Structure 1
Amino acid sequence: MTKTELLGAIAGLNRGILASPRDRKIVAALAKQVEAANPTPDPFGAVDKLGGDWRLLYTSSQSLLALDRSPVVKLGNIYQCIRPQQQLIYNIAEVYGVPLLEGVISVLARFEPRTEQRAQVYFERSIVGFRNWLNYYSPSQFIPQLQSSRPLAALDLPLNSNDQQGWLDITYLDQDLRIARGNEGSLFILARV
């Protein structure tokens, strides 16, 4: 029941963009209850459950939600695509606004499990480009382009992973829902695509 309550509580919050302080407290409390019933205590060992493309349903990360505060650009879907066998994470945010200038912001990271729930994350590459120029349709179609050695028609910048790193705790994982917490205190609730 609590998982259903959590999903109901976040349903109208537009990934957290519309969340009031009261909403954030309610979501945090419900998330803790769901996390207490985590059916997968070792998510990094459960590669079949962990791997795949996940769509962000809710976050408390103000830096991520700030992408929606521009008067010109609005935040579309956000995905976190995890490839456990390669220890890679692809974060992909779709942005829109001015017609024909829809974009994609992607950050690629490598991760190393440190405990059953925590991974150290090393951010290695940032890609910003227009959807049309990148021929972007979906994360599953886009990731092979990112893995290719062919240059992309985008701003493609290497990141210094020594400076750009953090950790991620996966606190709940089942077949269709994942809850994670980041090193900046942010809560992330994602659904399998």
Structure 2
Amino acid sequence: MASLIQTAIPCYYSDVPCLHFKNPSLRNLEFPKRVLFNTKKRSVCKSSLDEVVAVEPPPKLDDKSKAELIDSLKIKLLSTVSGLNKGLAASENDLQKADAAAKEIEEAGGPVDLSADLDKLQGRWKLIYSSAFSSRTLGGSRPGPPTGRLLPITLGQVFQRIDILSKDFDNIVELELGAPWPLPPVEVTATLAHKFELTGSSSVKIIFEKTTVKTTGNLSQIPPLEIPQLPDALRPSTNRGSGDFDVTYLDSDVRITRGDRGELRVFVIS
């Protein structure tokens, strides 16, 4: 068999390599399938010796093509999570689809470097999806009051307000609290104030400071109620009011983060 193979010389037709045998009587012989590599840098698919298909590596995208790809992936992600009520209505299948769509953007966008792009964090971001809300609690993956019929609490909009100069990182939650009939529901806005610091090229740590609750709507004239952070001696050792997350995608209008408990969050600038 080795002597037969040695009678073959490489040739190329239409830029696809094949083997041409000097001896016509050998041309119709069949050989086991194997992987052949030509002298060019390319991947070659498995095939028979008389029909080898060369597969070019995917071309590197230029800046314009990359931007168009990411835009299409962002539309796909936003379409996937729309109608899920920020994740409160997400099923297990919805969670998997959202995670897959987010991973496509993360891969296309590449690693995030907050030391160079910290200014992109600046602003008020609207939460449109959190995988942790599928637990049906306001605390997400952490303990929190349940939504639904057990408690008359309706979750409204959720925002993050980030100031890169003062290192302020505020989680702002709009809530509607049910009241006994015939009283109307009470609308409140809770602001959970934090400070933040970078702990890696794409990692952020937030440290809780205080919570401020302000009534809105018909009761907006009531002064805000401030709930300060408990002293260290009184706070549970398992909850120091801090949290960590990685920013896995960031541009001027979309931000994707993954939390320390595996929580996926998607924000848009507002």
On whether the aligned pair clears a TM of 0.5, the verdict is: yes
Q: Match of 1:88, as an amino acid?
A: D
Number of the residue aligned with 2:245: 168
Cα distance in 2 for partners of 1:113, 1:10 equals 28
Deviations 1:106-161 (A, max 9, x none): 2111111011100121111122332255669xxxxxxxxxxxxxxx5314222568
Where do 5+ consecutive residues of structure 1 fail to align?
A: 137-151
The residue number in structure 2 matching 1:190 is 267
Q: Return the offset for 1:169.
A: 0.7
Q: Assess, with a 3 A threshold, how the Cα gap between structure 1 residues 22 and 68 changes in structure 2: closer, same or farther.
A: same
- Counterparts of 1:19-34 in structure 2, within 5 Å, are 19-34=90-105
Over 3 Å counting, the alpha-carbon distance change for 1:160 and 1:16 in structure 2 is: farther
Which structure is richer in relative contact order (CA contacts within 8 A, separation 6 or more)?
1
Contact preservation (8 Å) 2:177, 2:186: yes
Name the SS for the 1:68 alignment partner. Answer: coil
In structure 2, distance between residues paired with 1:95 and 1:18:
17
**2:245 partner amino acid:** L
Rg: which structure is higher?
A: 2
Runs (4+) of structure 1 moved beyond 6 Å? none
The alignment partner of 1:102 has SS state of strand
**Contact residue 123 and residue 159 of structure 1 kept, 8 A:** no
1:169 aligned partner, one-letter code: D
TM-score w.r.t. the length of structure 1 is: 0.82
What is the RMSD of the two structures over their aligned residues, measured on CA atoms? 2.4
1:83 aligns with 2:163: yes
> TM (normalized to structure 2)?
0.60
Give 2:158's aligned amino acid. I
Q: Is the 1:40–1:46 Cα contact (8 Å) retained in structure 2?
A: no
Q: Provide the aligned length of Structure 1 versus Structure 2.
A: 178
Shift of 1:60: 1.0
Task: Indicate the residue corresponding to 1:6 in structure 2.
Answer: 77
The one-letter amino acid of 2:153's match is: V
Deviates more, 1:44-53 or 1:158-167: 158-167
Alpha-carbon spacing, 1:96–1:166, altered in 2? closer, same or farther (3 Å): same
**What residue is the counterpart of 1:115 in the other structure?**
200
Post-superposition shift, 1:67? 5.4
Cα separation, partners in 2 of 1:115 and 1:160, compared to 1, 3 Å = farther
Structure 2: state its 5+ residue gaps. Answer: 1-71, 179-183, 233-238
